[in-house]
Structures are given as structure tokens and as C-alpha cells.
Structure 1
Amino acid sequence: MSKRYLRAAALAAAILSALGTPGIAQAGPRASDMPDRVAVKPDANARAALEAAARSTDQSPQRIGGSSMRAAGKCDPLSQAHGSETVICVTPLQSGARPTKAEVSQQTIQPLPDWCYDHAFDDWWATRTQMCMIDAWTVTVTRTVNGVVTPIGGFDYNGYNYSYTSADMSTWASQTEIGMYNPWGDIAGIQVSGASSCTGACINGGADFPSQPVVPGAFPGGEAFFTSTATTRGSEGRASTTLTYYFTKPGATPSTPHDVPTPDVRCDHKLPGNNTVAGCIVYGIAPVMTYSLTTPYPELAAHIRDAQATGIPGSPFGGSPLHRLIDPTLQQRNRDVACPDSLPRPPGKSCDEYPMASTWEGAATGVNNYSWRMIDEAQNSNGGNAMNTFYRNMRLLDWDAFYVGIVP
């Protein structure tokens, strides 16, 4: 077994041991039935390893959507009162105070990726193993007397939402923090607390999101860890997770629970080969395999560049994606069509086909839109090995989309 396999197995075992077997999560809780629950978290080493693994890829983020603002309802103090004259309402802002890494990084549970700040107030952005969203909200405290609703205090806040996983571990984490600004009026005693839930192929470890004061300069929040149930060989499963929080104030009706649903996570144990482990990725992100025109496979890169220039798919710069093909018999058919034995191979050269034989867009399984070229044999072989490593590291299953980018 490889060192990577042993490392991943050990880390997964540590996290699964820490999570234990809490029940499969139910639908998101209401404010009135969000119990105080001791969250089950991995130990510090396993948690750090999970976070480090999530940051280990060099993929650029993509906009994935799924904003919690879709679920934001209108604030109706009269219907929310439930016998209390004072009510807390939460409504969305189109854009909040632009955050900076320096303002937030020292307070966060886990530091947000640098690119998260570049895409503040623009929904969820994600790589294959990380997703982040900074959104903006306003809290208004109202008092109702004789049917007349009067705002008596409030504040704006940014929500710092981050979720991360690993391609060789079956666990992922989500966190949410509140950055308050523009306070006014009677907001004394306001606190925030939360809970976690998940649906699909997942086990919820519970949220570490105790009641905390909401004051300027602090970043109250919480985190939760989840583990996949799709861990047996050949299994695959998707899960959606939610952190739910609400605001309270002495003598006031709490706010309605505010859900922060993340885009889906997909976990599997389906990669081909024997030396694999279960792992998870952000579902719906098409990763990019990059080749350079200078090193170490310049002839391979030049062939792909020229092929994409003719309209063959796969370029991340406006082209349609390629899709992984795992069936070895179909892969061989693609090779036989694009690079038949009848093509002469000059000394030191071998036949390179694009799209690759390991894609559904290949010469036989695609639409007869392909290119071949004789290139340096070592570059062809080693470049192919690099592609196989990319498939494994990105957990690309059959029909998963990806791109091939060519850089100088």
C-alpha cells in the first residue's frame, strides 16, 4: 500500500472514531427545538489534516451558486410575536461592508481562502474541496404596541460561511461566523447560537455553536463535522448540509432560524484500481488539468493547444468540458481509432490523441472530432501518468466533467 493510502486511512479512522455513530441528521430545526448538544468533533490533529488537505489543490474557484438568500423570507413582526411585543427580524442586504482578510483572519474558526474575499456577496464559490460564501444581512429589533410596529434597534452583519473536505477522506466540515457592524438602538443582550443538519448519505456530528454575544469586533459562530455513509467499495452518495442559527434577546421573540445550506458534497469509494480510499468532493465543480508549453511536456501541451484551437472541446477558456471514461475496453477503442498501428512511429516518438482515450469525447466514443500527432514518447507517457494522477486527486468518476488548460 502507498504512503498516501495509509495516511488517508489513518486520518479517516481518527475522524470516524471521533464522530462515532450519531443518528442520520433530520431536517433543519426550528428555534424552539434547537437543543443544546455536545458536538462530536475530530481531534486537533485529524481536524488540521482535513483542513490542510482541502487547501492542498491548486485549483481556481468557480461560482457554484446555492445562496441561502433564496430561503430568506419577509420579516413579519406581528405574526412572529407569539405573545411578546419585541421581535427580532433578519432580512438580506444586497451588499454589505466589504471585508478584508486582515479584519477577519484572526477571528475565524478556520481561515477563509484568500479568494473568498474576492467574491464577497456573490453567492457560493468553490474548488473541488472548498466552498465559501460571504453574504450580508440586517437584524432589526421591533416593538409592537397597539398593532403599531416600531423599529427600536438593529445592526448589519456579514456571514462568513466556509465548508471544506478532502479527496481522500470521507469527512467534511462547515462553519459560519457573524461579523457585526452599524449597530444602533436597543440591541443589548443579543446573542446567536445554532445547530447543524444534513440530508442524504451523511451522518451529522452536531454543531459546536453555543450561545454567544453579538458585539462589534467579535466573530461569534460555530462549526459542524459530517461523515459520509458511502464508504464501502463501489458506493457513491451525495449529501446536503445546513448550519442553522438564530438570534435571541432577553424579553424578545427570537428570530426565525436562519439556514445556511451548502452546495452538495459527493463522497464515493468508486475510483478504479485497488489502491484507493473513500473520499469527498464538492459536487458540480469541473476541475482543470493544466499543461505547460515550456515544461515538462511541451510537445503534449502544444498538441492539445492546437487541437482546441480547431474547436475540439476541453478548453477552460470558453470551451465545453471533457468527461472521464473509465471502461478500459472503450478506452482501447478510442486509441485504435485515433492512433491505429498502421500509423508509422518515428524513432523516439509515439502517437498522442486528443481528446484523450480516457474521455467520452474520444475518437470512437465521441463525434469523430479528434486530433492525433506524433510527439516525444517520454512526454506522451509521463503526461498521461500526470493525467491519471489528476483523475485520482480530483476523484473524477465516469462521466465527470473536467477541462484541460494550456499555459505558457
Structure 2
Amino acid sequence: MPQPTKDPQDTFVWSENPARTERGLSGNKTPKETSEQNCDAVKARTDIAAGEMALCVLKGRHSLTDGDPTIQAQLPRPDEIPDWCANADWDYNRVLSCRNGIETFALIQDGKIIGTADVETWDLVRTNHNNNKFSWDQWANVASTAGQFRDLWAGLTYQGVGMCTGQCALETVNVGPRLVPSSTWLRTYHIWHSTISTIGGRNKPSLDVEMTWILPGTIPMNTTYNRSLDRDIRCDYRSPGTNAYYGCIFPEFRPTLRVPRSILPEYADHIADAQATNWPVGMPGGLPLTRLTNQDDIDENRTMSCANQPSPRPSGQQCDEYPFASTYQGSYTSGFDASSRLINEQQNHDGGQQLQEFYQLYRILDKEAFHVQVVTI
């Protein structure tokens, strides 16, 4: 039979044609960036000699068409960037967070702007559900120039210095300073690892990159500033319910288990019928299910849910329950009667295996929330 999709970048579903990636948005959170990100103060300064040129950030990170529809991406996105990432704020799923935008720079001489350059940038932060490493990749290229910047842009350099706060350590870096090209991407990166070692331990490392842009022959003014990852990362070590010692994910993203009716028809029908009647919990957009890892409670949930089914079971059939016995919404742990039904034995086994794979892939720990959706594929 088809095997479950293993790549956490895809919504988890047993299928040879997985569904489109889900992601979240950073909402109203504001990235913590410390640049003035305007040139008004630079133009008014009196300590810059006549004829000298100063480099400043005219406009910090903004979308490709924000206020200037003539700015367009000059290069295809880097291969590592997922298709769904196209936002000046952080998009994210369970293991990736990314964003895209333009940094606009200006040359100031004698109090006036004499040239500008638009630099397209990408950020990609990656975690791993089965090890303790996480990374921040950055890409940059000069997308357009105007005025005297046309003659000087080839000297523009970028350096990014990453910082990790919490139980983490730097492992590998490639940070510059390096020239920013126009015909290809400049890529820099940092790789860190979690240093937690206590069984059941968890931590939330915080990531920042200090960005510095330099143009020879100019005075850098507000071109060093801090950029922070505006998402929480959670790393854990040998937590209950996991089979990998280490793992790091974005816990704010609530994943959805999609159950394919074409592969598991009886199993999927039971979930859909239960959600449509007395148990709408778990459906996307509604109240989620929450994982339970205590095996004694799981067994009690299963026993209570299936108490009304014939025993011994008919040959080739097993009792299936929804909400799942491995959730706090089960009969014993919730105090409410779950739905139960006799279904094909192999489908019940495969559905349970799919659920366990889902828990492991997205590193869903005790009391963490998720959704379930029946799909036709």
C-alpha cells in the first residue's frame, strides 16, 4: 500500500500525491529590527563633509510590491525556499519558517539622495523533527539600481552574524562579508544545535542575526541592524511519546492529519460520521484534539469506548473509536462517550499506524493540539 509521506514540509497524509503544504502567518507580531530604516536623519547630518557619500537604509524589509509596483524579483527563488513562502512577514509550518522582501538603500550626498538600490532577500529557518539541529539561511541579490548606485552597486557587501540565546551552541557558519551579486544569489547561513541533555527536557532557543551592509567609498550610517526570528522554536530531548531522542519544531503551528477515504474507506467514514454528529472536535477550524501519552489512560479510553461492541469481535473486524484513544477527548479521560464502530481489521491497524507516524513526524507531545480531516484523494 502507499507509504505515509515522510517530509514534514507536506501536510501528513497516506498518499502518493500528498496535499499542499500548510503554513501559518506571523499575524500582528512586529519583527524586532533596530535600524532607523529611513534616511531623513542622515540627510540632515552636518558632520558629513561636502561631496562625501553616505549609505543608508531608505526602507527596511518590505514586500516586493509594497508602495512601488515597479520593483520585481529579478531571479527565481532559491531552490530551498518552499512555494508557499512569499510574505514579508514570517510564514511557517511545523518545521520551516521563511520570508521574502526588499531592502532599499540610498546614497546621500550634500543632503540629497543621489542613487538607490533594491536588494531582494530571503530568510529560511529550518528545524528537524528527529535531531537537535536548526539553521538560518539567508539569500540576497541586487534587484535594481537607480542614479549613481548603478555605477557603485558591484562593491556592496553583506555580512550576517547570528546569535542564539538559550541552551544552544553554534555549529557551522558561512557569514561573509561577501559581495552581493545581481545575476545569482549570495547565500549565508548559520547552523546551531540544542544543548539540552536532561531526559524530558525542553527549551526555546531565540535566534537573531546582526546584518551589516557596506559599500566602499561611502560612509555607512544605519546599515547595521538586528533581525530576529519572530517565531518560537521548541527543542526537546527524549520526551514521552517520541521515538527520536532529539527534535526541534515550531510549536505554534497546529498540524492536520488528513485521512484518505480512498485508502482507508471504513476508517475514514467512521471519523467523518463521528465529526458530523456528536463529535465535531478535531475538525480544522474547530476545537482540536489533544494528544495523550499515558498508556494506562489510553487503554482505559479504548476499553470504555468499545464496551458496547460485541466480544469476541467478528472475524476480520476490530473496534475503532473516535476521538482517538490516544487523545484526552477519549471516553475515560473526557468523561463523555466516544463514537465506536466495527471496521475492517487491516484498515483499523493502518489508521492507527498513520496516527503514530503523524505524532512522530510532527513531534506532537502530551497535551499538544492537532486536527483531523477526512479527504478524498
Normalization by structure 2: what TM-score?
0.80
Name the structure 1 match of 2:103.
Answer: 137
Match status 1:368 vs 2:336: yes
Alpha-carbon distance between aligned partners in 2 of 1:207 and 1:132, rounded to the nearest angstrom: 19
Name the structure 1 match of 2:16.
Answer: none
Name the structure 1 match of 2:124.
Answer: 162
Name stretches of at least 5 consecutive residues in structure 1 with no aligned partner: 1-51
Partner secondary structure for residue 365 of structure 1: helix
Name the structure 1 match of 2:201.
Answer: 235
Name the structure 2 match of 1:326.
Answer: 293
Q: Deviations over 1:133-185 (max 9, x none)?
A: 11233222223x4xxx3112112232211121221111111111123223112
Matches within 5 A, 1:177-216: 177-187=139-149, 188=152, 189-205=155-171, 207-216=173-182
The answer as to whether partners of 2:168 and 2:192 remain within 8 angstroms in 1 is yes
Shift, 1:387, TM fit: 1.0
Name the structure 1 match of 2:76.
Answer: 104
Match status 1:399 vs 2:371: no
Alpha-carbon distance between aligned partners in 1 of 2:36 and 2:251, rounded to the nearest angstrom: 27
User: In the alignment, residue 91 of structure 1 is paired with which amino acid?
Assistant: K
Q: How has the CA–CA distance of structure 1 residues 371 and 82 changed in structure 2, closer, same or farther, with 3 Å as cutoff? A: farther
Match status 1:272 vs 2:240: yes
Shift, 1:252, TM fit: 0.9
Shift, 1:361, TM fit: 1.9
Further displaced range: 258-267 or 172-181: 258-267
Name the structure 2 match of 1:285.
Answer: 253
Alpha-carbon distance between aligned partners in 1 of 2:199 and 2:72, rounded to the nearest angstrom: 45
Matches within 5 A, 1:25-104: 60-65=21-26, 69=31, 71=33, 73-78=36-41, 83-84=47-48, 86-92=54-60, 93-96=62-65, 97=71, 99=73, 103-104=75-76
Q: How has the CA–CA distance of structure 1 residues 303 and 281 changed in structure 2, closer, same or farther, with 3 Å as cutoff? A: same
The answer as to whether partners of 1:194 and 1:207 remain within 8 angstroms in 2 is no
Shift, 1:371, TM fit: 1.8
Shift, 1:273, TM fit: 6.4
The answer as to whether partners of 1:175 and 1:243 remain within 8 angstroms in 2 is no
Name the structure 2 match of 1:298.
Answer: 265
Alpha-carbon distance between aligned partners in 2 of 1:375 and 1:290, rounded to the nearest angstrom: 19
Q: Deviations over 1:172-228 (max 9, x none)?
A: 111111232231123313322111011222212364121223343232241000100
Shift, 1:253, TM fit: 2.2
Q: How has the CA–CA distance of structure 1 residues 294 and 342 changed in structure 2, closer, same or farther, with 3 Å as cutoff? A: closer
The answer as to whether partners of 2:42 and 2:108 remain within 8 angstroms in 1 is no
Name the structure 1 match of 2:303.
Answer: 336
The answer as to whether partners of 2:97 and 2:126 remain within 8 angstroms in 1 is yes
Alpha-carbon distance between aligned partners in 1 of 2:76 and 2:370, rounded to the nearest angstrom: 33
Shift, 1:302, TM fit: 0.7
Alpha-carbon distance between aligned partners in 2 of 1:181 and 1:260, rounded to the nearest angstrom: 23
Partner secondary structure for residue 245 of structure 2: coil
Match status 1:115 vs 2:88: no
RMSD: 2.9
The answer as to whether partners of 2:26 and 2:91 remain within 8 angstroms in 1 is yes
Partner secondary structure for residue 267 of structure 2: helix
Normalization by structure 1: what TM-score?
0.75
Shift, 1:356, TM fit: 0.5
User: In the alignment, residue 156 of structure 1 is paired with which amino acid?
Assistant: D
Name the structure 1 match of 2:15.
Answer: none
Partner secondary structure for residue 385 of structure 1: helix
Partner secondary structure for residue 115 of structure 1: coil
Match status 1:222 vs 2:188: yes
The structure carrying a bigger helix percent of its residues is 1
Count, aligned residues? 343
Name the structure 1 match of 2:219.
Answer: 252
User: In the alignment, residue 157 of structure 1 is paired with which amino acid?
Assistant: V
Shift, 1:276, TM fit: 3.2
Match status 1:174 vs 2:136: yes
Shift, 1:327, TM fit: 1.3
Match status 1:153 vs 2:121: no
Q: How has the CA–CA distance of structure 1 residues 248 and 241 changed in structure 2, closer, same or farther, with 3 Å as cutoff? A: same
